[in-house]
Structure 1
Amino acid sequence: MLQKINAWAKRIKQQVTLLWTAYQHPECPIYVKLLIGLIVLYALSPIDLIPDFIPVLGYLDEMILLPILIALALKLMPDHVIELAEQELVNEENFKKEKSPKPKLWLGGLLVVSIWILGITWLGHLLAPILPKF
């Protein structure tokens, strides 16, 4: 049973990745892009048809409605756009396999540290008039 659930979750993840890649293609129709936007909004929205705090039933809408909407978006997507997206994902996967070292994330770290420094400086600037002088 657990293997079936894992396989189902992996298939949904692959479909979402394919959908996102196809969404970025310039030939993706606007109505499909709108549907994908609604899917994302519904998936991330705190408001559900069945609230999540209700045991078991709370997650049924995500388990049933989201896969149906994803399948609908893939069905509405032109076949050639899906084929291009699939090929792009295969090429990206092959590229990841060839590239063994992980990228360095120093630029992202530098950005986070800079934001913290700016925030602390701004806070100090705001609090300077009310803090005692040393």
Structure 2
Amino acid sequence: MLRRLRDLARHLKGELLALSHAARDSRTPWPARLLALLVLAYALSPIDLIPDFIPVLGQLDDLLLVPAGLWLALRLIPPPVIADARAQAAAQPARLARSLWGLLLMLGLYALAVGLLWRWWASR
């Protein structure tokens, strides 16, 4: 079982790398590119929606949100683009590093969500 989980994690990392190549491809439609960038920003950001120190829920958001976002982003990208991106990822297996831009994007999204919640609460 542990080996299967390692294989699944390795596959997920490969798919995230392929998604990063596909997001840079000019043939990718802009909605798919935007979703791909959001998924990559969340996956590579050092902060999570639910912090990892919260038992079970902290890991559950990573186990559900990242694969679901990855699945949806891959479905929105044309198959030839994904095939080329997977070939690039296999030819150049690079490690996806933590992203400062991903961190800033996630912080911005969290600030926007808090601002909208505050505005909604204040108007009541």
Shorter-chain TM-score tier? 0.5 to 0.7
Residue number in structure 1 paired with 2:37? 37
Residue number in structure 2 paired with 1:74? 74
Residue number in structure 1 paired with 2:5? 5
Instruction: Give, in angstroms, the shift of residue 85 of structure 1.
Output: 1.7
Instruction: Give, in angstroms, the shift of residue 52 of structure 1.
Output: 1.8
User: Normalised by the size of structure 2, how large is the TM-score?
Assistant: 0.65
Q: How far does the alpha carbon of each residue in 1:49-105 deviate from its partner, in whole angstroms, 9 at most, with x for none?
A: x33221222110001110010011001100111122233344x35xx9xxxxxxxxx
Distance, in Å, in 2 between the alignment partners of 1:18 and 1:47 is 22
Residue number in structure 2 paired with 1:128? none
* Divergent runs of 4+, >4 A: none
Q: 1:64 to 1:2 in 2, by over 3 A?
A: same
Residue number in structure 2 paired with 1:17? 17
Find out whether 1:46 has 2:63 as its counterpart. no
Q: Which has the larger radius of gyration?
A: 1
Count, aligned residues: 92
Residue number in structure 2 paired with 1:60? 60
Instruction: Give, in angstroms, the shift of residue 40 of structure 1.
Output: 2.5
Gaps of 5+ in 1: 97-134
Distance, in Å, in 2 between the alignment partners of 1:82 and 1:46 is 28
Gaps of 5+ in 2: 94-124
User: Normalised by the size of structure 1, how large is the TM-score?
Assistant: 0.61
Distance, in Å, in 2 between the alignment partners of 1:22 and 1:34 is 11
Which of 1 and 2 has higher RCO (CA within 8 Å, sep 6+)? 2
Residue number in structure 1 paired with 2:83? 83
Distance, in Å, in 2 between the alignment partners of 1:47 and 1:82 is 27
Question: Do 2:22 and 2:28's aligned partners in 1 also have CA atoms closer than 8 Å?
Answer: yes
Question: Do 2:21 and 2:85's aligned partners in 1 also have CA atoms closer than 8 Å?
Answer: yes
Amino acid at match of 1:55: P
Instruction: Give, in angstroms, the shift of residue 34 of structure 1.
Output: 0.7
